[in-house]
Structure 1
Amino acid sequence: MDPGDLNRAVRTYLDHLSVERGSAANTLTSYKRDLRRYLEFLDGQGVTRLEQVQQATVTAFLVALREGDKASGHPPLSAASAARTVVAVRGFHKFAVRDGMTTVDPAAGVKPPTPAKRLPKALPLADVEAILAAAGEPGTALALRDRALLEVLYGTGARISEAVGLDVDDLDLTDPEAATVLLRGKGGKQRLVPVGSYAVDAVTAYLTRSRPGLVAAGTTAGAGGAMFLNSRGGRLSRQSAWAVLVRAAERAGVSADVSPHTLRHSFATHLLDGGADVRVVQELLGHASVTTTQVYTLVTVDNLRQVFATAHPRAL
């Protein structure tokens, strides 16, 4: 193989990520898309070999990402999306040097743009409680499932993919006062999270009074031991779980935009508001770095500032 050929080098890098690194399917898809765009840019610049790529080339690519390209149909990317693409490019060039394809890393000095820090939107506790109370349309066979699903989402801080991916055996309800759930997060990482009494009660009611009927009436094969089932007895999808939450919010009269991640944000914010240590919240959320979790402390400080401004006699 010609070590300087860019297309072959990219294929080798993607094979490395898939086979040797065992990267997740979603990660591979993103890297393929980002590096394909990079190769298109290089081709447009007349660059076809690794040794032709310079730091200025990679910088120009970053500028093109942020400005967009009408000719190729690429819209301008946000700082976050451009940063993700540059990370893929940096990883590729670093690999090319380490694998002996070239001796120079032209991307080493190109830093990804820093995305604007967006504060997560958490719901007031009263809104969360209203949504949970409205979960499941009264009189329907799926009401208990819907309540259990939302109680698990808010009670454990699980991502929607983690919740719908649960199997019955992932929950240990042997001792209701020490119940736990095994959540499978990004990159196959697992974490054990405690389950509170409200979620335990809702899950127990669903498992004993609703799920057996869904299994018996099932027309869909392959659900196995899935925790949350649809009306056909198959595993509940992310889209259907999202719809459960939206309908509950509408019935509760909550006007704010609500998504499954809103419950996760609310879980973290309410914990910190209650005095939880940020590193404990990090473990519960499954964040690899405490820096990711610390954005929630900004929300908490903002809440404190508002209370101070309205309650302290000399705040204003």
Structure 2
Amino acid sequence: MIADRQVDLQTVDRFAESLRSRGKQPATVESYCRDAQRFLDYLGRYKVEPSQVEPETLLAFQEFLRSDCEERDNSVRRTVIGVRQFYRFLSDSQAIRATPFDMVPIPVRDDRLPKGLSPDDVESLLRSALSGRPEIKAARDAALVSLLAHEGIKANELIGLRWTDYLREKDRGSLRINGSRSRAVPLSAESNELLAAYQDLFAQVKHPVIVGSTEKRMFIAFKGRDAASPLPVMTRHGLKFILYELGDKTGLRKLNTEQLRHFAVSYLIANGRTPDEIMQFLGLRRIGNIAKHIVKDKGTAKTRIIEGATRQA
């Protein structure tokens, strides 16, 4: 057995290399490695070596995620899957004798729709974003919210966008989404207007970190007081923090991309898009929760019709 001291950051790096060699998508590699590091950090808190874990250790970690970190059930489920994959890698590479986690059941997926956002909620988020400072950060945040809420673009897809992926015309625009589910996404009028405003401000940025970057990403990050220092790449953690901050300002505690993406389904349905079109726009391979949204939204519409008829009577 390899000494436990070698199960460290370099081991996580080798885990990433193994995942990439198996054809895993960059977002999956990043997610699994983040899960692995979180688990190693958790073990470190209690001075437990990676080879000393038992099935109960993973169960305790699940409870830690739910209670201390207040993670949602599906988030816990995804993290557990990442940790199991990491321990299979440790076993296969003989860093540990065997993984004890294959006998631990994966938490059941919660297929209920998350608590829905209303159009007023999204408008409040956009107003809050646009009221921020500096102006370019406000424009960036508003464009992010709109693309999540109206087009349903995934977090990792947003982060990977470059300006060359944006086709901008006078009254309309579209985005080219690259990757395993590449597609062209037509933009709503509001998203196109907000993204165009952000692009105009971005073009004025003369900071050497941005000008000299080879990344040329669409969405940059900011740090420091008054967001004075730009960074060429925005991370998933950075996006999560942006939404948390906007959510706190508007009374939507722990706002996340999943809520906005689910709102996008309802938004597209309300704008007359068919299930096939929505699957294409969102890069989905199966109808999944779209069917639930259709039933839910039809039920809501039926309720409104009945309520309206009652008032008229």
The percentage of counterpart residues that share the same residue type is 20
How far apart, CA to CA, are the structure 1 residues paired with 2:94 and 2:229? 53
Larger Rg: 1
* 1:169 CA displacement: 1.6
Supply the RMSD in Å over aligned alpha carbons: 5.1
Give the counterpart of 2:210 among 222, 226, 233. 222
Using the size of structure 2 for normalisation, the TM-score is 0.61
C-alpha separation between the residues in 2 aligned to 1:169 and 1:235? 19
- Count of residues in Structure 1 that have an aligned counterpart in Structure 2: 282
Deviation at 1:113, TM superposition (A): 1.9
1:263 pairs with 2:260: yes
Q: C-alpha distance in 2, partners of 1:150/1:81?
A: 21
Q: Structure 1: 5+ residue runs without aligned partners? A: none
Aligned to 1:246: 246
Residue 193, structure 1, aligned to residue 193, structure 2: no
**CA separation in 2, counterparts of 1:40 and 1:160?**
30
> Which residue in the other structure is 1:18 paired with?
16
Post-superposition offset of 1:31 = 1.0
Distance 1:64 1:27, change over 3 A: closer
Q: Does 1:173 align with 2:164?
A: no
- Cα displacement string for residues 180-217 of structure 1 (whole angstroms, at most 9, x for unaligned residues): 31346xxx756333232513344345545x444x32xx
Q: Work out the CA distance in 2 between the residues paired with 1:98 and 1:145.
A: 44
SS at match of 2:182: strand
- Give how far 1:172 is off: 2.0
2: distance between equivalents of 1:74 and 1:257? 16
State whether residues 97 and 105 of structure 1, in contact with CA within 8 Å, keep that contact through their aligned partners in structure 2: yes
> Which secondary structure does the structure 2 equivalent of 1:182 belong to?
strand
Matches within 5 A, 1:1-316: 2=1, 5=2, 7=4, 14=12, 16-22=14-20, 24-34=29-39, 37=42, 57-58=54-55, 60-66=56-62, 79-80=73-74, 83-84=77-78, 86-92=80-86, 94-95=88-89, 107-125=101-119, 127-128=121-122, 132=126, 136-137=130-131, 142=136, 148-159=143-154, 162-163=157-158, 166-173=161-168, 179-183=173-177, 191-196=182-187, 198=189, 199-208=191-200, 210-212=201-203, 214-215=204-205, 218-219=206-207, 221-223=209-211, 224=213, 225-227=216-218, 234=230, 238=238, 242=242, 246=246, 256-257=252-253, 259=255, 261=257, 262-274=259-271, 276-278=273-275, 280-286=277-283, 290=286, 294-309=288-303, 311=305
Q: CA deviation at 1:109?
A: 3.8
Go from structure 1 to structure 2 and tell me whether the alpha carbon gap of 1:245 and 1:227 turns closer, same or farther (over 3 Å shift): farther
Secondary structure in structure 2 of the residue aligned to 1:87: helix
Q: Is the 8 A contact 2:265 2:293 kept in 1?
A: no
Q: For residue 29 of structure 1, report the CA deviation from its aligned partner.
A: 2.9
Q: Could you tell me how far apart the structure 2 residues matched to 1:240 and 1:76 are?
A: 15
Q: Cα offset for 1:157?
A: 2.0
Gaps in structure 2 of 5+ consecutive residues: 21-25, 308-313
| Distance in 2 separating the partners of 1:220 and 1:171 | 23
Kept in 2: contact 1:123–1:266 (CA 8 A): yes
